[in-house]
Every structure is written in C-alpha cells, then in structure tokens.
Structure 1
Amino acid sequence: MKTSVRAQLSQGLNLTPQLLQSIRLLQLTAPQLEQELRQALDRNPLLEHDEDDEAGETGIEAQAAELDTAALEAAAFDELPDPAFTSGTGAGIGGDDDGMARIAAGSSTDPRVRLLQELAMEWDGGDLLLAQWWLDHCDDRGYLEQPVDRLARDGAEALAVDPAALLHVRQRLLAGPWPGMAAADAGECLRAQLARLPLTGDPDPAGRLLADRILAGHLDLLAAHDHAALAQALGADPADIARACGLILALRPQPVEDAPDAPDGVVIPDVVVRHLDGGWRVALNTRGAPRVRVSAHCEAALGGGSGHAALRGLLEEARWLVRGIAMRDDTLLRTAKVLVERQAGFLARGDEALVPLTLREVADEIGMHESTVSRITTGKYIQTPRGTFELKRLFAVRLEGAEVSGAAVKAMVKRLIDDEPSHAPLADDTIAALLARRGIRIARRTVAKYRDQLNIGPARSRRRPAQPLRATA
C-alpha cells in the first residue's frame, strides 16, 4: 500500500456561538422570546429589567448603540450562501461542521415552508431548489396548478437544469414524507399514498391492486360510489370492490398536512400596524416580553478586564444577548415596514388588492439575504385593522401571465360568486370571461380550482328558483 500526500482546497463556514445565538433569536416567536428572556434573567445576574420602556410598543432607536456594535461582529451572518440555510450543507462544507443544521427552524402556516424544512434534513441543496420549484406551483391542497410537462419545461428553462432532473425530484416529492405532494390530480395523489402503505402484514394484497386499478382509470365511478359499475368495468366481485373502495376512503383526500403547532386561539402579535395621519404606522409589540439590559453598575465594575473570569463571561453573554435582541428587532421592524408599504392596498381594501411579492424582493429592499427574511417572518404575526395573521400571508405568488397574485384572483372569484343572482349563477367560463375584461386572463379550470379551494359548488348546485314578484295594491 502506497501512501501519498495530496493538497485539497475547500471552502468552510465557521459560525461562532454568538452568531449562532443571533440566528436562533431571529426565528423565535413572541412566546418563545418571552420565555428565553425570562430564563436569561434568572440565569444571568448581570442582566436586569429595562424599566424605562413601559409603552408596550417600541421602535429600534433605543437599541442603536448595541446594534451598531453587533453589526460589525455579525457581518458574516447575512453573507451565508443560500444552501447553508436551506439544506444545512454547501460546497466544501461537511454536514457535521455546519452549525445551521443544529438550529430548529420553527413551524409556519405555509405548508411549502414546513415541507422544505423537513426535506432539508436529508436532501441536498440542489434537489431542494428543484423541489421548491414544484412546491411554488402547487395550490393550497398540494396539487399542481398546471400540467406536469409544461411545468417541467418552464422549470428547466428558469433553473437551467435538465427537465428529467425536475421530473425525478417530483417523483421523490410524490413518494416523500407527505405522500402525493405535487401530484397532477387526485388519482395520482391517492396512488402515491396507496404505494406508501406498509406491505408487511397486509391481509389483502389483492385489494390493494384493485384499489390501484380504480384510482388509475375509474375515479369518476369512485366519486359516484357506483360499485356495480366498477365491478363490471374491472371484472371483479362487488364485495372486493367494496373493500378496495374502503381502503381508498381511508387515505387522505389531499397531501398537505396540518401545521403541528398551529395556534390554539391565542396569538401574540410581534408587530402592530395602525393607520394614523393618512399613513401606516408600524411598531414592534413588546407587551409580555420583558425588556432587558446589562446592569450598568456591574458593567462598570467589570470594565477594563477586571474581575473574575466567570463574571466576565457572564458579562459578554449578557452583552451578546442584548445585541442579538437588537438585531432581531431591527430586522423584524424593517421587514414589516417593507411588507406594509408593498401591501398597503391589501390593508386598505382587502384580498383583491394583494400584489405579488417574493422573499427576494423584500430581501433586496432591506439589503439582506432571502433566508434572513424567511426566518424573521416564519411564525411571526402582525396585528392590523384587518385582523391578526402571519407575516407570511403578505407574500403572494404572481399569477402566470398577469400582474396580479393568485390570492387576489381567488378573492375576485369569491366576490363575483357572492354577487351573482341566485336564480342565474355564474358558470366557470363566464367568471373567466368577466375577469378577462379586467385584463386577468385565466383558464376555466383555474376558476374551478379556486372555487374548489373556497368550498363553493358548481353553478348548477348554486342555482335557486327566482322569487316571484309580489303584486302591489
């Protein structure tokens, strides 16, 4: 065996404990931040309550000194490459050395964000990017909004990859932790879930095969619960058909899973928005979470490097916590201001005025990375005159071929249906034609998709007999 020496150049990413703490503070929700600060006050005697701030809502000016100092020390935070945030690994960076992978990502009400966070534990950054393409073109249920071939062609052009690679990633999504995700239709979704059922101990393998045949070509008969027609079409016994249909009905009607930690009715907003003097005022909500600062007399006593090493360590820990909170508040406030500015129409007029807005656009506006914006908006809530909701709701995907968002078009469809005559409901193609007059050209099937998401039936089920006119004396 011959030994040799070889030089190899690789890129590494080292995150200090202070920087890891700053990143973790970014993603803490309001209740988590309150718990973190109360534990810090109990643990570190050099921290104390900041009694000067009792207004409950504050800007960032009071923390400018800490923020300026921390900005230089944590400058590398916002220069991290995107794969380090999404997958925990990057070029030349080993998974064991990556501190980002050890930071919990929190949960979002956006299913795409939750699934990407789950996939990031096992998938590499390249496949995650392709998966994000498919998820960005899924509706709220997890079904693709456009034909598979068209999305594969458009994605290959947009991402400069082979269409076969995109299609391979879609198959991984179909068979992934949320079986059926990015399915073209309900049949493909249910077949993916059926394939994920455990084979060991299956008492009825023939029933599974029969269920797969039903999903492959007879969804219409399944939806009509016509077991006799299914038995005739498949040449099977009616009792076997009934068992196979029972197996299908036990599957999930859609692949999207509910948020594991969805709010249980009590939400503490992180940001408060009010309309004052003709404009929108954005402020951080600090009610509940204690304001902390470094004890002035303790800091003076330990100044110049004097004092016990343990006390100096506690002092540095206290300083970094205060600076990290200042950085978090500054990032949250600046992000919220951009969101409110861009979506002022939504705050004033509702969902129909929700304009397309992406993480990249907000990140460019505040001079930070998309990953930073994603972390600071995940799990954070904003209180507005229109209610309290997650900051993520202010992002909207642009409808292909139009200058409006899909959420806005869905709201328009709902308004048209709400205003329709009860005796002459609008058909899907009529709604599409009405939207086309406003410059929004969408297919009839897109209208049907939005209508299904709104749990609104087709025109024939909404028809009501006209009320007879009453004769006047």
Structure 2
Amino acid sequence: MDMAFCGEMQQTQRLVMTAEMRQALAVLQSSSSELADMLEHMAQDNPCLEWEWPWAVASGEFPRQGATAPWSFDAVYQYPAQRTLADELCAQLRVMPLPSRTLRVAQQLACSLDERGYCTDSLDVVAVRLGVPVREVEEALSALQDCEPSGVGARNLEECLILQLDKIEPPYRTLARKVIDHLNDLGQGKLRLVARNCHVSLDEIYEVLAQFRRLTPRPGAAWCKEPLSLVPPDVVVEQAGDAFMVRVHESAEPRLWVSPSYRALWISGGTEVRAFLAARLRAIERMAKAIETRRMTMLRVAEVIVARQLNFLRHGPGHMRPLTLREVAQELEMHESTVSRAIRNKSMKTPFGVWAMDAFFPAQLAASDFSAEAVQHLMRSLIALEDARNPLSDAEIVLRLAKQGVALSRRTVAKYREQMGIPSSQKRRR
C-alpha cells in the first residue's frame, strides 16, 4: 500500500464575501436612523471621521462629530415645546374665582388626567395625597369640568357625554340623557331594545345618535399628538407636467469628511503617523462609497417603482397595481435580495402622502388585475358612502365589487375589513 503524501494544484471559482461587501450590504438595508447609529459607532473608533445629518439635530443627540459644521443650530429654539392639555387647563383655572387651595387641587387634577382627558384617580386617594377634605377635591373637579374642551375631567364615558349635553339641540337633550344609560346596548347595535327601554320610536333613537356625533368620547385626544418627526422621506416624487421626477431627499443622506486637525496631521506627520492614519482614512473612504452606492441603488429602484405605479401617482391608492420584487430586479438586472434591501425601512413622498417603499409591492389577487391595496381602497370608499342606518354587509360588498370587476369571496372581504379595522355591518349601524 502506497502511503506517500503528494500535493496537487486545482483551480476553482467561488464567491467570497469581503468585509467591504458586507459593509455595503449593511448600509444598503439600513434606515436613516440605523445608518446614523452605524456612523456614531464608527466615529467613536475613528477620530478622523466627522459627519453631519441636518434632520437629526432635533433628537437632541446630533451632531455626533463635527460640532463646528455650518448647519448646526439649537433645536430647542427652532422647535418650541408643544403646549399640553394640562397647560391649557391650568391657564383656564387661574382666571376662575377659586380659593387658592381649590385652585391648587384643580391644577393637580389637571396634571393627572390620562390621554383621553379623563380623571382616573379616586377622589378619596387624591384627598389623602394632598391632605385636603374630599369635599374640596369634588369642588376642584367640578371647576375642572367647567373648562374647555367640554367633557374634560370626566371619570367615565357616561359622565363625559353628560358634560357635553349642551352641544345637543334642546329637543333631544332629555332623551339623550336617557340613552346614555344604555351605552352598552348601543355599542352592540341593539337599537330596538334601547328604543323600547326609553319608550320612544326607533326614528327618535336615530335622531339622538345623529346628535351624539357632535360629541367626543375622548376630549383630551387632540392634545396627545405624536411629537414632530423631523426624519425626511428617503425619496421624493414630484410631478412635472405629465411626467414624474424622482430624486433622493437632500437631507436623507449624511455627509462625511475628514477632521481638519487630522488632515493637517497627515500632511505634517512622519511615517508612523501616516501609517496610523492611513487605515482610518481608508475606512472613511469605504463608508462614503457604501453610502453613495446606497443612494444610487435606492434611486434606481424608486425610478422603476414610479414607472410601474403611474396610475397610483395620477389617480390615488385605488389604482395601485400589483408589483413584485422579481419584476423590479429583472428590469435593473440585480438580485431580488438587493431590491429588498434597498426598500427596507425606506419611505417615498408622493402626491398622495408619504408611503413606505415596500407598500408599492402589493400582491395580485387571483384571476384579477387588482392589487390587495386597490381592493381595500375600493372597500373603504363603498363603506364611506353607505347608509348609516342600513350599512353594507360583507355579502353586499362582494356584489358591488363584482360590478367593478373585482371577484372576491365573502370570507376575503371580511378578512380585508378586519385588517382595516372596520367593524361589521351590525356594529356600524347607527
């Protein structure tokens, strides 16, 4: 038996994922905030890097590096703090003729309201916490409930509606107070039962419900808005005549540069200093190249999306056509995974608002040219125009969609309706 060792040469081909390629893929699939985090981590390890991202200063965390950048400003002065519901109520309470201690209790109650504008704290607990009699807490709550918006300071839905009864026309106020005692039955659509218990006709119940639409069950909701978002859309689509122009938002891309002090050190330093800086300067160059690749890939994908979704851009969401990643990838001669990374957590500003880029890839319904998004838009339109006293059932929606060339089963209609958060016809009946 021959046990000798021998060597031979063999030529093969294989794909090797280099560190530069991994970085480029990570940058491509990153959202704006994720890319900002990547740059921050890089800046902590690479003192030569400085960068800026104008939209991000409002978060109170940027700029990370390059504090002398020309765009820097104090976001506190650019964006004043939003006035809260408690601020508004306290301002109203201060002009009321209230004893100082009652005013203090009322202000404490105003600051403890939940996002609906309701007082959820027990008055007994508030009295113990503030060291005052329960009677004074009740007086303070009464003063708070006299403030605007009407209904604020209520302890439950029934009290909230009662506080707003002055908005209902006088002929219906007495009946409205009776109907409020049957809110559970109203919520379940048992209008005939409510009419029988209130000893009135069904038409009178319908009239009272029409009056209830002037009331709000959440008087504090208007003050609980999301904080202003300064993150711009990644891509902007603008109409120019009959054509649509696509561009990457100028504030959606960070700008990188080498710190002036380290640039001077590169010029004046010796061999060892240059060797130290060379690797860090190459890292900045690679990151800048990856960001530029991200921008160009995102732009190319957006241009194909716009070309395929012209009907949406001209007529609205109801005309969005089915589109797949494969179609876009074949047109751009790139892999589907690259297209997927390019649209991940990216947004596009259109004539119909800001949309997530992956929303332009709706699935196609079987045996139909309609997308799921378009069908849902048609359903919303049908339900918005229905008679509130005789709302459309799922079966009726199926028939109306069929007249527009959309063939769906009742089960599919019910699924789409639930996805859109629309209750059943029984619960929509007013």
Q: Who is 1:322 aligned against?
A: 288
Letter aligned with residue 450 of structure 1: Y
The alignment status of 1:450 with 2:423, answered yes or no, reads no
Counterpart CA distance in 2 for 1:445 and 1:269 is: 36
8 Å CA contact retained: 1:398, 1:406: yes
Which of the numbers 22, 27, 30 marks the counterpart of 2:24? Answer: 22
Q: Which runs of 5+ in 2 are unaligned?
A: 57-187, 189-225
Q: Which runs of 5+ in 1 are unaligned?
A: 57-223, 225-262, 465-473
Which of the numbers 402, 405, 413 marks the counterpart of 1:436? Answer: 402
8 Å CA contact retained: 1:436, 1:442: yes
Alignment of 1:35-184 (within 5 A): 35-37=37-39, 40=42, 43-44=45-46, 47=49
Letter aligned with residue 285 of structure 1: H
Q: Who is 2:235 aligned against?
A: 271
Aligned to 2:392, the other structure's residue is in SS state: coil
Identical-pair percentage: 35
Counterpart CA distance in 2 for 1:299 and 1:442 is: 70
Which of the numbers 329, 334, 341 marks the counterpart of 1:368? Answer: 334
Q: CA shift at 1:323, angstroms? A: 1.2
CA distance 1:457–1:39, shift in 2 (3 Å): closer
Q: Deviations over 1:251-297 (max 9, x none)?
A: xxxxxxxxxxxx98734422222223333222222427541246897
Letter aligned with residue 373 of structure 1: V
Which of the numbers 363, 369, 374 marks the counterpart of 1:397? Answer: 363
Letter aligned with residue 255 of structure 2: R
Q: Who is 1:283 aligned against?
A: 247
Q: Who is 1:414 aligned against?
A: 380
Letter aligned with residue 428 of structure 2: R
8 Å CA contact retained: 2:318, 2:375: yes
CA distance 1:414–1:4, shift in 2 (3 Å): farther
Counterpart CA distance in 1 for 2:51 and 2:396 is: 62
The root-mean-square deviation of aligned C-alpha atoms, in Å, is: 4.0
Aligned to 1:275, the other structure's residue is in SS state: strand
Letter aligned with residue 241 of structure 2: D
Q: Who is 1:356 aligned against?
A: 322
Q: CA shift at 1:25, angstroms? A: 0.7
CA distance 1:22–1:4, shift in 2 (3 Å): farther
Q: Who is 2:309 aligned against?
A: 343
8 Å CA contact retained: 2:323, 2:360: yes
Aligned to 1:280, the other structure's residue is in SS state: strand
Q: CA shift at 1:393, angstroms? A: 1.1
Letter aligned with residue 286 of structure 2: W
Q: Which of 1 and 2 has greater Rg?
A: 2
Aligned to 1:309, the other structure's residue is in SS state: helix
CA distance 1:457–1:9, shift in 2 (3 Å): farther
Alignment of 1:198-347 (within 5 A): 266=229, 267-287=231-251, 289-293=253-257, 308-347=274-313
Q: Deviations over 1:53-93 (max 9, x none)?
A: 9999xxxxxxxxxxxxxxxxxxxxxxxxxxxxxxxxxxxxx
CA distance 1:299–1:290, shift in 2 (3 Å): farther
Q: Deviations over 1:390-433 (max 9, x none)?
A: 21111100011101101111111111111122333323222222
Q: CA shift at 1:454, angstroms? A: 2.5
8 Å CA contact retained: 2:266, 2:277: no
8 Å CA contact retained: 1:31, 1:268: no
Q: CA shift at 1:300, angstroms? A: 10
Counterpart CA distance in 1 for 2:232 and 2:30 is: 12
Q: CA shift at 1:39, angstroms? A: 5.1
8 Å CA contact retained: 1:358, 1:396: yes
Counterpart CA distance in 2 for 1:271 and 1:4 is: 65
8 Å CA contact retained: 2:266, 2:273: no
Which of the numbers 31, 34, 53 marks the counterpart of 2:33? Answer: 31
Which of the numbers 421, 425, 429 marks the counterpart of 2:391? Answer: 425
Letter aligned with residue 277 of structure 1: G
8 Å CA contact retained: 1:269, 1:383: yes
Q: CA shift at 1:448, angstroms? A: 2.0
